[in-house]
Amino acid sequence: MRAELEVLLGNLNALKREGVTDIFVSEEALSALRERVAAVASAVPPARTPVAELPPKTVPQQKLRVNEPVARIPAPDARSSASAFPSFSSENFYSTKKTPPLASPKAPPPAKKEPTFDFSVSEARAASVPANGSNADRLAALREQMLGDPICNEHLHAGKQLVFGEGNPEAGIFFCGEAPGAEEETEGRPFVGPAGQLLTKMIAATGLSREQVYIGNIMKWRPELPTLYGNRPPTPDEMRYCLPYLSKQVEIIRPRVIVALGLTAVNGLLGFDPDRRIGAMRGKSLEFKGVPVVATYHPSYLLRNDSMKSKRAAWEDFLRMMEIAGLPITERQRNFFLPKK
Ligand code: URA
């Protein structure tokens, strides 16, 4: 129980770091939360109860305050399910939404173990990809090496898969995310959950398909948690461990531009900086292995902050990326998410 609440607090704190101040919680999720708080409170002596930071039972329905300024998460029932994306339709661009899981399945949390890393393993393996051959063959060899990496496998959740990345081995655009989530570790493919559906729409809005670009992550496994649900950002150590694989992917594909989706992707590519903020990185000239990097918001952030302002901001990053990649841009595309005259 406590582990579940710690995960929830971790997620709330991550939102807070992104600047979110208000979130909306369904009645159902609130009751589930109350049950868990009550269970923890009855299991520990009151004097030492650290659940005081969690919403008390009298918390107003629907809205929990997370402290400082910003965005709001629409009530789950206000969210529509994924719909097909008519290409070039900015109106439908961000309509793929799913309720983020707040309540959890009732499974006992596995024992927590500290991650261990032997950096030499991934460096050596990633470096041993054949120097010649097609990009597809070289990527396939790298993928095999990652699949056999004992450290990656050691951190994998039982029955789940590593996520190497996928797409066009000759892609001009490389989308780099943070780490696989629940859907991704189940399918072994990047960006297949709600954030992935939005990313797919964003890619379609550029006039390209998912198959024409490459999509990967800083991390190759889903960062472990003491619970079976929830996500956490990877640690700097975890990111450093996986970086040789990503580096090699970029080296093989040699894209014209990398799109860093969210702060963790920027930190993974440029080196971890706790003071870095995604808003301050947008629009900057950045590079990874000599390839220009465009920093933008993570699609999950856009799912939570679907104002025209944030949509337009992300789209402007995409326009910059399209310019760097040499893609044609129509007048209509230039005007996506601008107020109608
Ligand atoms: N978020 C990411 O950063 N990567 C994925 O593959 C899925 C969700």
DSSP 272-283: --TT--HHHHTT
Domain limits for position 204: 119-334
Residue 259 dihedral angles phi and psi, to the nearest 5°: -105, 115
In the chain, where does DSSP find H-type helix?
2-18, 27-43, 119-127, 135-147, 150-154, 182-187, 194-205, 236-253, 263-270, 278-281, 299-304, 308-325, 331-334
If one counts the domains in the chain, the total is: 2
pTM to 2 decimals? 0.74
Question: Is the shortest distance between the CB of 178 and ligand 1 below 6 Å?
Answer: yes
CA separation for the pair 159, 178 (Å, rounded): 21
pLDDT in tens, 150-160: 999 999 999 99
Mutate to test the pocket of ligand 1, among 217, 258, 296, 302 (most ligand atoms within 8 A of CB): 217
206 falls within a domain: yes
Looking at the structure, tell me whether residues 239 and 328 fall in a common domain. Answer: yes
Question: Is the shortest distance between the CB of 165 and ligand 1 below 6 Å?
Answer: no
CA separation for the pair 320, 47 (Å, rounded): 55
Residue 215 Cα to ligand 1 midpoint, Å, equals 9
Average pLDDT, stretch 140-155? Answer: 97
| Model pLDDT, residue 4 | 59
Looking at the structure, tell me whether residues 247 and 156 fall in a common domain. Answer: yes
**What letters, b where the CB count within 10 A reaches 16 and e where it falls short, cover 84-100?**
ebeeeebebbbbbbbbb
CB atoms within 10 A of CB 168: 20
Residues of the chain with pLDDT > 90, as a percent, come to 61
HSE toward the beta carbon, residue 300, CA cutoff 13 A: 24
Lowest mean pLDDT among 6-20, 216-230, 231-245: 6-20
Looking at the structure, tell me whether residues 181 and 237 fall in a common domain. Answer: yes
Looking at the structure, tell me whether residues 144 and 256 fall in a common domain. Answer: yes
Tokens of 96: 């793929």
Looking at the structure, tell me whether residues 231 and 286 fall in a common domain. Answer: yes
Question: Is the shortest distance between the CB of 179 and ligand 1 below 6 Å?
Answer: yes
pLDDT in tens, 67-94: 332 223 233 333 333 332 334 444 445 5
Strand (E) or helix (H) holding 140: helix 135-147
